Structure 1
Amino acid sequence: MPEAVHYRVSMLRPHSHLFEVEATFPAGPDVLDAMLPVWTPGSYLVREFARQVQDMSAMGPGGEPLAVQRVDKRTWRVQARGHTVTLRYRVYANELTVRTSHLDGSHGYFNGATLFLYTEATRGLEHLVTVDAPAGWRAFAALERRGEAFAAKDYDELVDSPFEVGPHTPHTFTAAGVLHEVVVWGDTVPDTTRLCSDLQRIVEAQARMYGGLPMRRYLFLVYLTDKSRGGLEHKASTSLLFPRAGLQNARGWEDFLTLASHEYFHLWNIKRVKPRALVPFDYSQENYTSLLWAFEGGTSYYDNLFVLRAGLMSDNRYLTRLGETLSTLHATPGRKTQTLAEASLVSWVKHYRPDEHSPNSAISYYLKGEVVAALLDLELRRATDNARGLDDLMRLLWHRYGDESGVPEDGVEAAASEVAGKELSAFFDRAVRSTEELDYSVFSHVGLEVRFRPRESSSDKGGTPPPRVKGEVRPRGWLGVTTKGSATIATVLEGSPAQEAGLYVDDELVALDGWKVDAAGLLSRSEDKSPGDTVRLTVFRRDRLVEVTVTLGQKPSDAVWLARVEKPTDAQKAAYQAWLGAPWEEPG
């Protein structure tokens, strides 16, 4: 039996934010090149993890020192002469995100891609990890325990299994016959019994769709922070970052459940059924695929849907949230510039590196992908008279590619056409490969129609009809900017009055028509005026006082909601219930 790669991770000085790592590679080639990934699966950005590595040294099987040479940004070379080599190094970890690593006096969290060197020769071997933790701390990971060590069958499994180490007391529940563990850092969850119960219901709803779970144990790592939010999926675990205050209210709790639902659904959709372009992972550079919209956007569609199916969200609430997603899409000019396929392909330089121009030049494959997945679900239901839907497509992909062989670039479209029983190239041409506005007519199949209105305020997310007001609604003025902080322009929207007049990003607001104004006041006072009115804006631009005259446009109708048709047919009512699992309610 081949030897394993052994790691020992120590954190005996947590206030230093330095993990101390010892990596021992079995005897092999004369020259050992040990490397660190530049990215981690699930987060499509080159992050250059090797920049945090320091104090590298090497020794042979008898403890004798060996020369170690850094040959490029992520590679260290040792003249091993066929012998066992142990590398010792430290990794600075003071970035608390789901993609990186963090060590302080309260805990240690690390992703394998940030900490564990590997070699191509040993990548397929078993990898064992021993954790030396401060007194009173425990190590948690989804990997199998073997004595004091955690065992991964190969390097890919190791990278896909984050560790949390700290003085935590885990919470557990069983769902679909599988033990689930919940470890929380940062604060106390207000109601852990409810948390486990709600997660259990979501897990069981997803397991029902696929006929069981694909792993023997699962670990939720939950990080409660001041304001950060995010998640990263793994093959038998997930890391969830969420604002602690959000769990104190109904909307925040709902948001947390959709986040957990999203990452859990990735157990199938990308961790096992994945683009062929990611098989195997190339940790040295970008891995390009045009299918991220299906794997991330499709998962975004299902995250809300499974909270609904678990009985934790009403169908009306689901439609509101879908309307909010549509509203965000229609407030993004980049939907007219970038296709969904291109957004997937260039995520490495666009989605994870947004700037002030991103809303004008790009579209999120999560955002538009969710909408396209909803439309595809309804298209499949319409084509098959409700006999099949997106669930059937997902199960077909699972049956065909669940062995991790990888979905070819045309595989999703081919499988969808197979489920529909007809060619769907026209749907994919428009929704995925063009920048045309999406065709929402398919919502009529379930008795709904997409409607638009102007936003009532900067905090208006859409999803609901306009408030009922007496008298005629006056058109409101529109400047066409977003703001940041108290008085700074963040984005100037493409084709807006602000852009035409010459307002710039980072202009610092001073006054409107001679009166002091902040960011909130700028937007509200612009809306108090009428389209065609002229306003005089005074701003600081690179510390110079500048005056810009803007002729206001009309506030766009980019808040979207899904309205029930007034006289639905019995077929529409039945299709609605088949889709959302709830009986049709007449509009009130």
Structure 2
Amino acid sequence: MTDLLYSVEAANLNAHLFRITLTIAKPQAIQTVSLPVWIPGSYLVREFSKNLQNLTAQQGRRTAAIHQRDKCTWDIACKPGQPLVLSYEVYAFDNSVRTAWLDSQRGFFNGTSVCLRVHGQEDAPHQLQLIAVKSQPDWQAATGLAPVKTDKKGFGLYQAQNYDELVDCPVELGAFWSGSFVACGVPHRFVVAGALPSFDGERLLANTQKICEAAIRFWHGPGKAAGKKTPHKNYLFMLNAVHDGYGGLEHRNSTALICKRSDLPRPNGPKNSEGYTTLLGLISHEYFHTWNVKQLRPDAFARYDYSQENFTQLLWFFEGFTSYYDDILLRRAGLIDDTTYLQLLGKTIAQVQQTPGRHVQSVAQASFDAWVKYYRQDENTPNATVSYYTKGSLVALCLDLKLRREFKNDSITLDTVMRGLWQRCKAGPMREQDLLDELHARTDRSWQAEIRAWVHGTQELPLRELLEAHDIQMDDEASPMAQRLGLRVAEGAGSVQVKAVLRGSAAETAGMAAGDEWLGLDVGTKGQGGSWRLSKLDELPALMGQERVLTAWVARDKRLLRLRLTIPALLSQWCLKAPTSRASGQWPGP
């Protein structure tokens, strides 16, 4: 038996309570334990201890005294030589990939939400006991942890080498669908909770297998031995299908995903709906993280500090470059064509161009500020910050296109740089200088000017120049009305709700503000065009005719305001089209 054993029981499904019993065989005289305040991969202090309750401590028949040191840390006074048994409950009602969930239909948890860290023994082996739920005989259990002794349904004893591994292997519980496949010799399992009966599991498995094979070959080459070089010997996908939701969180040999039920493939359904393509991109993104952030990781994450923020300026690389490759791997796996790939790329470009904050904050600063800005978005977010996902992916695009333009072959591309970084840094943390050194080693020139401008600066990226150099056609098309006005809105039930007003926009000049409800309009400077009720922004062109000035009626804090709004000239956004022919290596397709 290991010195550290966590027994997890679904104690009360309707009250959403897990009960955890932690046995510490060799406690210190004053044994300190704590619960993480954040989970790696999601850069926000979430205060998981708020859900912990009824903590008790026993040594045999003796109750040990507990002193709470701070919001998430406890000291227990122990007698030498006696095992310490801690018991506590965790409230689990967050149906996301980040924390824990429990009801009569499903259970799920990350170790950071339920497993106290035993200070001084973090590097010792840890074991996890999953107790079967008697009231739910059809439930199963799935986790990326190594089984020690488990039953056919997955309940029983699992082993982790240390605390980091324990909390990096989430657990799925329930009557889920399960399927498996082998990619380059590596076993993979896919479990899906909440799917409709019409769900096409075989298609999801086949498509995911192609993604995994493309990723493994990207990192380890096309040979038969590629699968023997992977950092994981098996892999688990856990997907929670819900009415409305999207997201994923990477782990060392698994990932937790959430998607809309309607995005899952259906027998005899469309080959690739927009929603299903988005889901495949999410799968590709999280799987790519197995290498890029879980193994090849920033120096700030060399050893996680679970008690506070772990700051790094490199999320533009670890999230942005992963975002660049997630769609490329779909293309290389044959799951989308050139047209769809360029549509996805064009959408990313539009998202960045419609963010005034790109002129305010560099993508390196955005990485560092993720803890207080990206994960705490409000109505001013698009004006003050830029996404390290989207702009970071465009930095990768520019770097890749520039490498391909300069060397005009497949021997020096961003692909080869990434593989070089893997060899250079897989045994240790990565710094920005490592990327610069790898680029210099492969090209015999400095790339500091590009990284300084693209990553640490706020000027526009040279997208048009580099795309046109690779014969990517860039037609302009009219932008949506919301973009012309500089608004982000929510429409529904005959109402236009203003969510954000972009800096320097026509809407800002008119005096619109987040929280306004746009009720209607008077057309023309004197209202000679009539007064109209507004239910959707796309109605404006028909209501206005040739007029370019209107009076907007908005409701703000129960007051009706009349705002003079001048509609700007038509704006255009890029529409990317593939060249009719291309030489090998011209642009990052298959």
Whether 1:215 and 2:232 are equivalent positions in the alignment is yes
Q: 1:506 corresponds to which residue? A: 515
- The equivalent residue for 2:560 is 545
Shift of 1:451: 4.5
Measure, in 1, the Cα distance between the counterparts of 2:421 and 2:3.
34
Equivalence map 1:454-469=2 (5 Å):
454-456=478-480
Distance 2:165 2:542 in 1: 54
1:468 equivalent in structure 2: none
1:14 matched residue in structure 2: 13
Does 2:203 match 1:200? no
Task: Report the CA distance between 1:490 and its aligned residue.
Answer: 0.8
Structure 1 residues 409 and 29, CA, compared in 2 at 3 Å: closer, same or farther? Answer: farther
Instruction: Pick the aligned partner of 1:324 from 336, 347, 361.
Output: 347
Following superposition of structure 1 onto structure 2, how do residues 47-196 of structure 1 map, counting pairs within 5 Å?
47-60=46-59, 62-82=60-80, 83-135=82-134, 136=137, 137-147=139-149, 148-188=156-196, 190-196=199-205
Whether 2:391 is the aligned partner of 1:393: answer no
Tell me how far 1:518 sits from its aligned partner. Answer: 3.5
- C-alpha change, 1:205 and 1:235, in structure 2 (3 Å) is same
Paired amino acid for 2:364: A
User: How many angstroms apart in 2 are the aligned matches of 1:90 and 1:526?
Assistant: 57
Q: In the alignment, does 2:490 pair up with 1:484? A: yes
Partner of 1:293: 316
Equivalent-residue separation in structure 1 for 2:532 and 2:64 (angstroms): 68
For 2:133 and 2:27, how far apart are their aligned partners in 1?
34
Shift of 1:115: 0.6
Alpha-carbon distance change, 574 to 140 in structure 1, aligned in 2, over 3 angstroms: closer
Shift of 1:532: 8.1
| Contact 1:178-1:216 within 8 A present in 2 as well | yes
Aligned length in residues:
553
Measure the CA separation in 2 of the matches of 1:526 and 1:5.
Answer: 67
Q: In the aligned structure 1, how far is the partner of 2:313 from the partner of 2:386?
A: 14
Distance 2:343 2:37 in 1: 39
**How far 1:187 moved relative to its partner?**
1.4
Code of the aligned partner of 2:549: T
| Structure 1 residue 71 displacement after superposition | 1.6
- Answer whether contact 1:32 1:80 (CA < 8 A) is retained: yes
Matching residue of 2:152: none
Cα separation, 2, equivalents of 1:51 and 1:424? 46
Contact 1:446 1:575 in 2 (8 A): no
Partner of 2:352, secondary structure, is helix
- Name structure 1 gaps, 5 residues minimum: 461-477, 582-588
Q: 1:516 Cα shift?
A: 4.4
1: distance between equivalents of 2:312 and 2:255?
23
- Equivalent runs, 1:149-548 vs 2, <5 Å: 149-188=157-196, 190-211=199-220, 212=226, 213-248=230-265, 249=270, 250-386=273-409, 387-403=411-427, 405-440=428-463, 441-456=465-480, 478-485=484-491, 486-513=495-522, 515-520=531-536, 522-525=537-540, 529=544, 533-548=548-563
2:259 maps to a residue whose letter is F
**Equivalent position amino acid for 2:143 in 1:** A
Once structures 1 and 2 are overlaid, which stretch shifts more, 437-446 or 262-271?
437-446
Alpha-carbon distance change, 446 to 298 in structure 1, aligned in 2, over 3 angstroms = same
SS at match of 2:237: strand
Contact between 1:479 and 1:526, CA under 8 Å: does it hold in 2? Answer: no
Which deviates more, 274-283 or 307-316? 307-316
Q: Are the structure 2 counterparts of residues 434 and 139 from structure 1 closer, same or farther at C-alpha, using a change threshold of 3 Å? A: same
Alignment check: 8 A CA contact 2:177 2:193 kept: no
Deviates further, 325-334 or 105-114: 325-334
Aligned-pair distance for 1:222? 0.8
1:344/1:365 contact within 8 Å kept: yes
- Provide closer, same or farther for how the CA distance between residues 275 and 395 of structure 1 changes in structure 2, counting only shifts above 3 A: same
Shift of 1:260: 0.4
Change (3 A) 1:414 1:529: farther
**Pair 547,26 (structure 1): closer, same or farther in 2 beyond 3 Å:** same
TM score, norm. by length of structure 1:
0.90
How far apart in 1 are the matches of 2:532 and 2:442?
60
Distance 1:328 1:93 in 2: 35
Distance in 2 of aligned mates of 1:207 and 1:527: 52
2:566 and 2:546 map into 1 onto residues whose CA distance is 8
User: Runs (4+) of structure 1 moved beyond 6 Å?
Assistant: none
**Shift of the alpha carbon at 1:524?**
3.2
Contact 1:276–1:409 under 8 Å retained in 2: no
Q: Deviations over 1:214-247 (max 9, x none)?
A: 2111101011011100011111000110001122
> For residues 164 and 54 of structure 1, what CA distance do their matches in structure 2 show?
22
- Partners of 1:266 and 1:357 in 2: CA distance: 30
TM superposition shift of 1:28: 3.5
Give the superposition deviation at 1:457: 5.6
Distance 2:393 2:545 in 1: 35
The Cα offsets for residues 272-328 of structure 1, whole Å up to 9 and x where unpaired, read as 000011110010111111110111110111111111111111122211111111111
Q: CA deviation at 1:526?
A: 5.6
Contact 1:233 1:239 in 2 (8 A): yes
Q: What one-letter code is carried by the residue in structure 2 that aligns with 1:40?
A: I
2:235 corresponds to which letter in structure 1?
Answer: Y
Note the 1:571-586 alignment, pairs <5 A: 573-576=583-586, 579-581=588-590
- Separation in structure 1 between the aligned mates of residue 122 and residue 50 of structure 2, nearest angstrom: 22
- SS of the aligned residue for 2:321 comes to helix
Say which SS state the counterpart of residue 140 (structure 1) adopts: strand
Question: Residue by residue, what CA displacement relative to the aligned partner does 1:554-573 show, whole Å, maximum 9, x if unpaired?
Answer: 2432x22224568x7xxx63
Q: Distance in 2 between matches of 1:35 and 1:19?
A: 17
Question: Residues 532 and 553 of structure 1 are in contact (CA less than 8 Å); yes or no, is this contact kept in structure 2?
Answer: no
User: In the alignment, is the contact (CA less than 8 A) between 2:361 and 2:385 conserved in 1?
Assistant: yes
Contact in 2 for aligned 1:224/1:243 (Cα 8 Å) = yes
Q: Tell me the distance in 2 between the aligned counterparts of 1:444 and 1:81.
A: 73
Q: Structure 1 stretch 350-359 or stretch 23-32: which is displaced more?
A: 23-32
- CA shift, 1:413, in A, is 2.7
Structure 2 residue matching 1:574: 3-state secondary structure: coil
Q: Which residue matches 1:28?
A: 27
Letter in 2 for 1:35: S
- 1:12 maps to a residue whose letter is A
Alpha-carbon separation, structure 2, partners of 1:55 and 1:526: 61
* Residues 515-548 of structure 1: per-residue CA shift (max 9 Å, x gap): 343451x453168648983211122211112221
SS of residue in 2 equivalent to 1:580: coil
Aligned to 1:553, what secondary structure does the other structure show? Answer: coil
For 2:575, which of 556, 561, 577 is the aligned residue? 561
| Counterpart secondary structure, 2:377 | coil
Matched AA of 1:367: T
